[in-house]
Amino acid sequence: MSHYAALDIEDLHFRYPDGTEALNGVNLHLHDGDRIGLLGPNGAGKSTLLLHLNGIHTPVSGSVSVYGMTVQKKTLREVRQRVGLIFQNPDDQLFCPTLYDDIAFGARQMGMADHDVSHRVHHAIEEVGLDQALLKKNVFHLSFGQKKLASIATVLAMDARILVFDEPTIGLDPRARKMIVKLLHHIGRTQIVASHDFGLLRDTCTRVAVLHQGRIVADGKPGEILDDDLLLKRYELS
């Protein structure tokens, strides 16, 4: 086990080409096994922050470190094996001819042998609770809920140690939502869950951090944050 924190975000700043300040000094630290909810109004910078965690965005200043390794161009391959980002829209994640190919994609990029890739794929689809028979199907034929589960399987097959979810329950019916909540409990690992779903954050997270105008303005146990009506109102969350 590494003696480093799972994730260190230090004074992170980012602005878009049009000059919009999206992140304005974010500090956040996670240890192995932390499951932190990221809460904030639309435009607070949640998705922008998530895209820094595996190097899709590059900060203007500040840093992101994964198990002591700074996220930068020369470390991207290793970082992306450790940090699995699950997009809000699974269609942004699934693009191969079959579900098998989608789940296998990351493991193949890591240069794994075919039999090891196959083992990873079958284990991952079992872990998310999807039928093995779906592996031969085109993802176009899956339901939205199945696609959500499949997109999680793509990062589990890479054995990512940190799982980053952007609105994992949005657009789901109650049954599919319940499956996602159960899965987040079951898969363990270190997790960051950006969501407006208070029930999800309360049920699955060990901490909740509030992002507002590009800064972390509160960080505490789920009940401390989600039951604080004044705090929620102050930061446009109620």
- Per-residue DSSP letters for 23-71? EEEEEEEE-TT-EEEEE--TTSSHHHHHTTTTTSS--SEEEEEETTEE-
| Dist CA 235 CA 212 (whole Å) | 6
Pairing of strands 207-212, 190-194: unpaired
68 lies in a domain? yes
SS3 208: strand
| Dist CA 237 CA 212 (whole Å) | 10
Q: What are the beta bridge partners of residue 24?
A: 13
Check if the beta carbon of residue 162 is closer than 8 Å to that of residue 189.
Answer: yes
For residue 59, give the nearest of 1, 120, 124, 9 by alpha carbon. 9
69-85 confidence digits (pLDDT tens): 999 999 988 998 899 99
- Whether 1 shows a pLDDT value over 50: the answer reads no
Provide the residue range defining the domain that includes 216. Answer: 7-234
What pLDDT, on the 0 to 100 scale, is given for residue 238? 84
| Dist CA 121 CA 135 (whole Å) | 9
55 lies in a domain? yes
The dihedral sign for the CA sequence 104, 66, 161, 220: negative
Backbone angles phi, psi at 66, to 5 degrees: -115, 115
| Dist CA 238 CA 235 (whole Å) | 8
- Whether 139 shows a pLDDT value over 90: the answer reads no
Angle at CA 86, nearest 5°, toward 148 and 4? 140
89-115 average pLDDT score: 90
- Report the number of distinct structural domains present in the chain: 1
Element (DSSP H or E) covering residue 14: strand 7-15
1 lies in a domain? no
- Whether 35 shows a pLDDT value over 90: the answer reads yes
72 lies in a domain? yes
2 lies in a domain? no
- Whether 2 shows a pLDDT value over 80: the answer reads no
140 lies in a domain? yes
143-155 confidence digits (pLDDT tens): 999 999 999 999 9
- Whether 164 shows a pLDDT value over 50: the answer reads yes
Q: In the block, which residue shows the tokens 């900060």? A: 59
83 lies in a domain? yes
- The CATH number of whichever domain residue 224 belongs to comes to 3.40.50.300
Element (DSSP H or E) covering residue 144: helix 144-156
184 lies in a domain? yes
Backbone angles phi, psi at 93, to 5 degrees: -110, -25
Q: What is the dihedral of CA 153, 159, 161, 167, to 10 degrees?
A: -10
What pLDDT, on the 0 to 100 scale, is given for residue 111? 84
165-220 confidence digits (pLDDT tens): 999 999 899 998 998 999 998 888 899 999 999 999 999 999 999 999 999 999 99
